[in-house]
Every structure is written in C-alpha cells, then in structure tokens.
Chain A
Amino acid sequence: MARVEARPLARPPMHSFPSSQARRVRLAIVLAALVVAHVVGWQMAKINIPALIVGLPNMRHIVLGLLQPDAFEPIRDVTKVESELTILPAGSPVPAESGRRTVGTPGGPQATVQPAQVRPGQPVYVQGSGWPAGKKGEVLLAASYGGRPRSAGAFTVAPDGTINHAFYAPASEGAFDLVVQVVTPRFGWRPTETLLLSLRLMVETLFLALMGTSLAIVFTLPLSFLGARNLMGKTRVGRAIYYVTRTVFNLLRSIEVVIIVTIMAVVVGIGSFAGVLAIVVHSIGALGKLYSEAIESIDPGPIEAISATGAHPLQVIRYAVVPQVIPEFLSFTLYRMDINVRMSTIVGLVGGGGIGFILTQYINLLQWNQAGTAIWLIAIAVTAIDYLSAWLREKIV
C-alpha cells in the first residue's frame, strides 16, 4: 500500500468552538439553577444565623447537664424522724390543747415537738434522745402538699444523745412536715436513682435491639435464599419469586425506623414492643439484601458438585451454600446488631420505649443533669457495642 500521509491528530478548529460554547452555556444554566435553588432553599429552610448565635447560650443547660450528670452521690448515714407542725393564721386564738407530739422509736432516735400547733413568730421546741452523739443535725419544714423543704435551724447532738432545739415559727400558715435529721457523711459514693433507672432502661434498650435483630434474622434467613438470583434464576417461577422478594426487601429497607415506630405504636401501643417491631421490619429489608447478595457471590462449583450427586435442593443449600455464606452472614448480622442498638435508642424518642423514652421526658421537664446521665449512658453503650461488633467481625473473617 502507498505511503500513508503523515497528518497530525488535529481536532477541527471550526468544530470545537460551538461545542465548547454549548458546554459553557450548559454549565452556566446548571450553575444558575443551583444558585436559585439555594436562595429559595435558604428561605424555605428558615435558616436564621442570628437565632443560632443568640440561642447558643441555651446550650449551657445541656453542657452543664453533661458535665454534671446525675449519676453518683456521696454515701451518707441519715438518721431522721418526721413529725408535723400546724402553723395557725396570725391572731387566731391558741387552742387550749396546743399539744406536744412525740415521734420516733423508743430507745432509738426520738423527738418531741412542742407545741404541735403554733402561731407565726411563736417558739417551737424540739427535744429528743437517742441521737448519734456529737453530730450536727438540722430541722426542716416542708409544706405537706409538697415543695422544697426549708431549714428551721441547725443543732448539735449532746454527748448523751439528746437534742434541744428551738426556732420561731415562720409566717406562713398551713400544715407542715417537720423533719429532724442528722446526716453523717461517709467515705464513698453510690449510684443515684437516676443512674439506676437509666441503666435499667439502657439494658432494656439493648434487649430491644437484640430481640429486633434476632426476630429479623428468623424471617430473613429463609427469605434471603428466595432473593438470591443464582439459586432462583433458573426457572420462570423462581425468577418471579426472586423479584418479589427483592422488591419487598427494598421497600422495607427504604422506610425509616422512626416512621415505622409511629405506625407500630398505633397498632400495639406505645412501648418497647412497638420499637422491636419497627426494628424487625426495617432489619428484614436491610439484612435481606445483604444476605441475598452474599449468597449470590458464592462459588457455584460446590453447588454443581453437590447437585451432581443427586442431592435434594435443601441438601444442596445445607452443604454447598450455607458453609460458604456463614462468615459473611455472621459479619452482616453483627454489623446490623450494632446499627440496631443505635436505632433502639432513637425509637424511644418517638414512643418505642427504652432509654430514649426517659431521655425525652428529662428534656421536657428541663432535668438537664438527668438528661446528661441518659446521654452519657447511650454514648458509652453504643461505643462499646460498636467496638465489640468490629472486634468480633474481625475475628470471624
């Protein structure tokens, strides 16, 4: 053949100009559309930077709550007796029997309050015996219908265990609980009620996640085989089942757990069970997809070999498929358990029980220290499960 004319690999200049211009116009349109979308979006989303700056100090409640969670209190010996005191309206006649009232256990701490009915400004005498010698004590008055107790003076227990205290009745009439108590601090700390309650609910939450995951596995294990193309794709009916199964998995997976909880709460009522059901439903979709894909990625050789021996399809699954997918199934399941622990703390926020439920209550009641306790527990538990799951997965693979 004749010599080939050497020609540069030139791009035709007349051609590149309009195409690059068209591209530039397209880029400009896309950019303009993005700018418009963000301007509209800024308004639609009601973005308000000043509100963020002005409101930021409100965070201090939460920060302080997190810094001082209601978790531990010093251990104290409290010796106390409770009596009553009625403060009459000012100027009312003193009843003939203004009375005295003795409370407590004979031999143990005892206190006599005299008189039991009193007018504002009149002295009230508190005497007693059987108290820890030399310790400091306090008399407290609290309105019977509730409210913060207020101090009615401090005293020191005499060496023989007796107390002798007097105070003037305050100018607020009504029925009061009168508490005489001696508080002795001891070395050590103990968990508070809040911590114990939060712990119990955290454990409940972990079990909620466990049950959600386990029940999901029960349904997903058999279903995932129906959603594996390499097992089902051989016949027309099989392919139909495959598509239906995969579609169901995708649907379940696409609905957020929080939405399912609200639906389930309507069905079975607010509480942990609604949370479990929601996690089950969502996990079937998520695990089903992962399981099915694990089955699809196995080596087909053993399936052929076992089928060729004349084995039943169930035997083929048991001997050729299951051993191949076990490590992946375990790994996916641990991963799911990890996610579900996180989910189960969320479901409580919308009526699914567990620690999330008590956390919303604390926040609504502005009990920041208690909220801090719950948040700390969630963080610790989720992190621990996260590490545990990762560690176990590493062991398996």
Chain B
Amino acid sequence: MHSSPFTLHFEQPVLEVRGLTKIFPGGTRALDDVSVSVPDGQFVVVIGLSGAGKSTFLRCINRLLEPTSGRVILDGEEVTAASLKRLRQIRRQIGMIFQQFNLIKRESVLINVLAGALGSAHLLHSLIGYWPKADVERAMANLERVGIAEKAFQRADTLSGGQQQRVAIARTLMQEPRLLLADEPVASLDPATSHSVMRYVEQINREDGITVICNLHFLSLARRYADRVLAFRAGQLVADLPPEAIDGAKFREIYGEDAVEVEVA
C-alpha cells in the first residue's frame, strides 16, 4: 500500500540516507556508502551477519554514533547537519529499542515509561521528578497498550525479558515518534516471547503509522514482519528486496556459502 506507484513519487520519504559511511577509530569501515530511502509507514527489516554494520546503521541515524560522512534526512530535515540542541528535538521523532532493553533497572516501570517524554518535558520539573498528570495518564495508557499496566509500580528489573521490552516499547510510544529504530529487539528472548514482542512492534507500525527499521537475526522473523528487507554485508548494503524474494541463492549471497537457515518457531 505504501509503496504504490502513485504515491511513491509525490510522498516525501520519512527517512533518506545518502552515502552514509562510518569508519571507527581503529579503521573498521562499519558502514560503507549506504544509501536508502524509506517511505512513510514502511516496516523495514535489516539483516546481515554479526559485525555487518546493522547496529552501526541504526545508531548513525539518530547520531548515537557520529557518521564519518554521508547524510541522514528525516522528514526533509538533515539530521547530520543539526546542532546538538536541534538534534535533541529531532531525536524526539525517533524512538529506539534495544536488545538489552536498557531500562532504568532500579526505577519503577512507570518512571521508565515517563522517561520517554523527557524530550518534551519541563527541564526543572523532570529533574525534581515531577510529572504532569497528563503525562502520567498517557504513560498508563501506553502501558495498557502493551498489556502490562498492572506492573506500573513494580521495579523494572523485576520484570521478565519480554515484559521489559514491552516497557521499552511503551517508552518510545511516549515520544509519539515518526520512526522507530529497533536493534535486535528480540535477540535475548525465547521464540514465543519474540513473536509477542514483535506483534506489538507490528501493531504500532500498522495502527500508529510509525515507520519501523528493525535489525533481526532470524530470517523467519524478517519474512513474517517485514515489508522490505535490507541486507548488509561488511558495511555495505548488498540487497534491498521484498521478504518473499529471499531464496536460497540470495540467502547464501548475504550470509555466505556455508550458512544454513535456522527457523524460529
């Protein structure tokens, strides 16, 4: 639907990446001249071997890592050219979830969700821990959406992995983002839990129209959730194709000749 030929030419892409390159101080070329354009509402899955540059790609988009060269453009604005102050405003548009969930372990679930609203919160109020009623209500509603409202006052580290990732999703929902970056969000979860978490990601993509770029290890998950698959190899974008187009030959091209596909239930 989003990639229909009629809208494609008129609609501005949410994300435009041009010639993105990241060379680490050690000399590792983790991203090598990557260009890609992501239309609004697309669910993009990034695959590739460990070390292929998937995480680096996501981190360069919101500049958790500074790219060595190239441009990242979000909704027509160049992220890579933004001042630090402007970058903070742009980051509010980009949610991010991580393999290790990255919650504040000793704080309550509710505080963790509220933290997603820090970018728009009153600085002093947030520093003394005061949250407006509206934010708290929104946080509870978002917890409701990921099905763990009853855990709101529990410490975050008392939750299971799947529950923690749902808290992280609720946290990004507080940002009401345009784009969600997910860096292997289910890599530390069992297969069944993986699907339950991925379904929440899919849900916010379909219902809220939030564009998703998600790194995944398992091709089966990619086939199940992706509108489009980007494959990285040694920092280069080697394939950009619909999920059903990944056949055995493509698979070996991406993962190497010796690779065997593993299914996730």
A residues with a Cβ closer than 8 A to B are 299, 301-302, 304-312, 314-315, 318-320, 323-324, 326-327
Contacts and interface: CB of A to CB of B under 8 A. Distances in A.
Contacts of B62: 308
29 contacts: A301-B98, A301-B101, A302-B102, A304-B96, A304-B98, A304-B102, A305-B98, A305-B103, A306-B104, A306-B115, A306-B118, A308-B96, A309-B117, A309-B118, A309-B171, A309-B175, A310-B88, A310-B92, A310-B119, A311-B88, A312-B118, A315-B118, A315-B123, A315-B127, A318-B126, A319-B111, A323-B106, A324-B105, A324-B106
A309 B95 CA distance: 6
B89 interface: yes
Contacts of B101: 301
A97 to B, nearest CB: 85
A319 to B, nearest CB: 5
Nearest to B172: A309
A266 to B, nearest CB: 41
Nearest to B175: A309
B98 A319 contact: no
**A304, A306, A311, A318: residue with the most chain B Cβ atoms closer than 10 Å:** A311
Contacts of B90: 310
B210 to A, nearest CB: 15
Nearest to B85: A312
B175 A310 contact: yes
Contacts of B118: 306, 309-312, 315, 319
B135 interface: no
A312 B126 CA distance: 10
A196 to B, nearest CB: 45
B64 interface: yes
B197 interface: no
B123 to A, nearest CB: 6
Contacts of A312: 88, 118, 123
B123 A305 contact: no
CB-CB nearest 6 A-B residue pairs: A310-B119, A310-B91, A301-B102, A305-B102, A311-B118, A310-B92
A62 B121 CA distance: 66
Interface in B107-164: 107, 111, 115-121, 123, 126-127
B104 A308 contact: no
A78 B92 CA distance: 83
Given A305-B103, A310-B118, A312-B118, 8 more contacts: A299-B102, A301-B98, A302-B102, A308-B95, A309-B116, A310-B89, A312-B88, A319-B115
B168 interface: yes
A229 to B, nearest CB: 15
B213 interface: no
A322 B202 CA distance: 34
Given A304-B64, A308-B64, A315-B126, A323 B92 contact: no
Given A315-B118, A319-B104, A308 B127 contact: no
B94 interface: yes
Nearest to A300: B102
B100 interface: yes
